[in-house]
A and B are shown apart, each in its own frame.
Chain A
Amino acid sequence: MIVDLHPTEDQRMIEESVRAFLADRLPVERLREPAHQGGAAEAAAWAELTALGLFGLGLDEARGGLGLGLAEEALVARALGLHLVSPSVVAQMIAPHLAPDDALRAALVAGETRAAFANRIGEAGGHLIDGAGASHAVLLAGGVALIGIDALGSPEPVDAIDETVRIARMLAAFPAAPRDAASDRALLLLAAYLTGIAQATRDMAVAYAITREQFGQPIGAFQAIKHMAADMATRAAAAEAQCFHAAVTFGRGLDDGIEAAAAALLAETAALANAGANIQIHGGMGFTAECDAHLYLKRAHLLASLAGGRRLHQRRLLGTAS
């Protein structure tokens, strides 16, 4: 199978329009303000996000979507990661694919009915992420399912590592669902989001290394920093290439489970390692809450957890996962 990983003109236009919108309306700096956290800024921009066509992008036209593919959805998910957009926007992209009937699907595509991620925690309930305004949950429980949020019991707010999202603890127990094509599609979008974090932190570190001077020169001239940056670029490139290769070939005869698990593993590694390296390159400022570097690290941990974690991806890669 010959895979062209260069974006088509249409793909480039979709990605650029989403990136331009996000840079304008949902820049990462918004998260410094508690009033814009927890999906609030996204809720304020909801009509425009819907109008951009995000929520039916990869859905067949016959089912009310734009008839594009997983590659286009992954490009959008990467852009969402670049701007640390609420994970609920990714959940809203996945939900229409899982809707059991036309009416619900149409309402999800139109953004009238809203979805958020719920993450199963073993036998003991789970987390609902940025669930304000959502009536449905995209439940990540091995496999993936769309359920009514009422079935989750009464969620209790908890503080978690990423204080820019609102997390609620649910006590209702959920059975694990089998992994299937739908869950691997969802996994690839989470992986694409993580590659966005890997890219954003690479660029933030490079920009700082060019301007910050010590010993009379930009710190990026020192090989110790330059080589860290080169490794950040390499990790990001490998994760992106695998992610988009898996998205383009999805359902076309390669082992989608292994391809998606590889993408998720590399994307998690790239996002966490790059977010960490970005903090290191920013030095003392990077350790503070005044610098945005910490936001990427915290979000990377949340998304890695939503994607199932590296141990799961590793077992799937060797066919030893249950």
Chain B
Amino acid sequence: MKIIESPELDAFRDECRAWLADNVPREKRPPEGPAMRDFDLAWQKRQYEGGWAGVSWPKDYGGRGLSVLEQLVWHEEYARAGAPPSGSMFVALSHAGPTLIVSGSKAQKARHLPTILRGEENWCQGFSEPGAGSDLAALKTRAVIDGDHLVVNGTKIWTSYGHLATWQELLVRTDPDLPRHKGISWVICDMRTPGIDIRPIKAMSGLTHFCQVFYDDVRIPLANVVGEVNGGWRVAMTTLGFERGTGTIAHQIELSNTVDRLIAAARDLPAADGRGRVIDDGAVVADLATLRAEVLALRSLTAASVSRGMREEVPGAEGNIVALWFGELSRRVHAAALDLLGPRGLERGGDHDWPLHYLEAYKWAIGGGTSEIRRNAIGERVLGLPKGPSAR
């Protein structure tokens, strides 16, 4: 445990800060739809031209190849500069790209990695199904080999930006007779292929970011299988994620800013009974102070996670602890906002749409592993408790 002092990292921080100050888009990011996608691609293109595309990707594949500590600095400066989220580029940069780097063929890498980095094409993820959510290995979308193609039938759900993406990383069942983890293949699917029907799903926040995708005799070249046919589970699970705990820094800083904003509001706003300010209520102090302590702990947990990431080849199950803490805290912070702000906090729009942020915050304890699945993983894989039926 120590403070890392490094003139090289300080100089690197200056470099990040200077570039971001000159290049972060000034215009507001559109909240959804093709305009948002075009914005995300344009921002990716600008990062590419500045030499900042794929910061965590190895240099051999066109990335910047930053060390874990350099990534940490980059993400901190990125958040402080108010740079936009990767949004509809997220799957390409943080999942599909890294998977191709680890498991893709030479031709697949050559075809796809440059277009991702240059912001020319984005990706979505086709993993979950209506009957295969937390239990992903129950997936049923069927792919049958027909000559040099796979013919896909079935449906995928919770496909973020499915209606805005060019490509999809798609998990399909290529052999229903094999044990359930063994008959799955990881396929590159062109979202423009005939037979694909995309139905956007509106979330409770009002935003339309994800979709259900239907496949009706969709023909995908066998050459698009990544790794072996029936070897897709391993491909999906061995995506190392080059980020090593640094990927959530922007969310952590944003949540900390939200708590600061709430504390400032409680100091400013008159109490409901007209006497004094909201913050004069001891119960309000208790709530806000606890949230401030918890966001500080989130920062500290992130530092602990990055410290592990500097030393581990494969991220361990401890990552679930930070994710669980963040997911639950995020929801509580935004619930506290509605509680403290009173009726005015229920108004939509405005310069900070609190209900939007509150409703969206529910996703952090559901998407990418529910809090309950994370508790199972912590119990079984961190603490060594006996495995239940959900264990993989």
In the complex, chain B residues whose CB is within 8 Å of the CB of A220: 379, 385-386
Residue of A with least CB distance to B282: A311
Q: Which residues of B contact A210 (CB under 8 A)?
A: 384-386
List which B7-41 residues lie within 8 A (CB) of chain A.
9
Interface string of B368-390 (1 = CB under 8 A from A): 00001011101110111111100
CB-contact partner of A238 in B1, B72, B294, B308, under 8 A: B294
0 or 1 for each of A49-90: is its CB under 8 Å from B? (1 = yes): 000000000000000000000010001000000000000000
Known A233-B321, A262-B293: A6·B4 in contact at CB below 8 Å? no
- Cβ of B301 and Cβ of A237 under 8 Å apart? yes
Say whether B385 contacts A262, CB under 8 Å. no
**B 298-328 binary contact with A (CB < 8 Å = 1; else 0):** 1111011001101100000010010011000
Q: Which residues of A contact B378 (CB under 8 A)?
A: 229-230, 233-234
Partner of A7, one of B1, B292, B297, B387: B1
* Set of chain B residues within 8 Å of A242, measured between Cβ atoms: 293, 296-297, 300
Partner of A317, one of B292, B310, B321, B325: B292
Count A-B contacts at CB 8 Å: 166
- What residues of chain A lie closer than 8 Å to B279, measured between beta carbons? 318, 320
Which of A97-105, A159-167, A244-252 is near enough to bind chain B? A244-252
Among the stretches B283-291, B335-343, B352-360, the one at the interface with A is B283-291
Chain A residues near B384: list those with CB within 8 A.
206, 210
* A244→B2 CA distance, assembly (Å): 10
Q: Tell me whether A317 and B293 are in contact (CB under 8 A).
A: yes
Interface residue? A239 (CB, 8 A): yes
Q: Shortest distance in angstroms between B356's beta carbon and chain A's nearest beta carbon?
A: 26
Contact digits for A13-49, partner B, Cβ 8 Å, 1 yes 0 no: 0000000000000000000000000000000000000
Determine if B2 and A237 form an interchain contact, defined as CB atoms under 8 angstroms apart. Answer: no
A71, A210, A229: most-surrounded residue (chain B CB, <10 A):
A229
Bound form: Cα–Cα A184–B372 in Å? 37
Question: Cβ of A3 < 8 Å from any Cβ of B?
Answer: yes
Whether, in the assembled complex, B222 has its beta carbon less than 8 Å from a beta carbon of chain A, the answer is: no
- State whether A4 touches B375 (Cβ < 8 A): no
A292 at the binding interface (Cβ < 8 Å)? no
* B380 close to A239 (CB less than 8 A): no
Q: Are A238 and B3 in contact (CB under 8 A)?
A: no
CB-based nearest B residue for A244: B1
Q: Is the CB of B324 within 8 A of A226?
A: no
Q: Are B321 and A5 in contact (CB under 8 A)?
A: no
Distance (whole angstroms) from the CB of B187 to the closest CB of chain A: 34
A321 to B69, CA, bound (A): 37
Kindly list chain A residues whose C-beta atoms are within 8 Å of the C-beta of B375: 223, 226-227, 230-231
Contact A314 B286 (CB under 8 A): yes
Contacts of B9 in A (CB 8 A): 2
Contacts of A316 in B (CB 8 A): 289
Specify which chain A residues have a CB less than 8 angstroms from the CB of B300 in the assembled complex.
Answer: 5, 238, 241-242, 244-246
In contact, B296 and A262 (Cβ under 8 angstroms): yes
A223 to B380, CA, bound (A): 10
Please name all residues of chain B whose beta carbon is closer than 8 Å to the beta carbon of A310 when the two chains form the complex: 286
Least CB distance, A78 to chain B, in whole angstroms: 12
A261 CB–B CB distance under 8 Å = yes
The reply to whether A230 and B2 contact each other, CB–CB distance below 8 Å, is no
Is B218 in the interface zone, CB < 8 Å from A?
Answer: no
Residues of the B chain whose Cβ atoms lie less than 8 Å from the Cβ of A209: 385
Does A313 sit within 8 A of B, measured CB to CB?
yes
Which of B6, B290, B380 contacts A314, CB < 8 Å?
A: B290
Q: Is B263 an interface residue (CB 8 A)?
A: yes
Contact B383 A266 (CB under 8 A): no
Residue in contact with A248 in the complex, picked from B1, B73, B379, CB distance below 8 Å: B1
Do residues A230 and B383 form an inter-chain contact, with CB atoms below 8 A? yes
Residues in A with CB closer than 8 Å to B385 are 206, 209-210, 218, 220-221, 225-226, 229
Given contacts A242-B297, A317-B288, 15 further A-B contacts (CB under 8 A): A2-B73, A3-B303, A4-B3, A4-B303, A6-B311, A206-B383, A218-B385, A220-B386, A226-B375, A226-B376, A226-B388, A237-B301, A245-B296, A259-B296, A262-B292
Q: Which residues of A are interface residues toward B (Cβ below 8 A)?
A: 1-8, 11, 71, 75, 202, 206, 209-210, 217-218, 220-223, 225-227, 229-231, 233-234, 237-239, 241-242, 244-249, 252, 258-259, 261-262, 265-266, 310-311, 313-318, 320
6 closest A-B pairs by CB: A314-B289, A226-B379, A241-B300, A262-B293, A317-B289, A245-B300
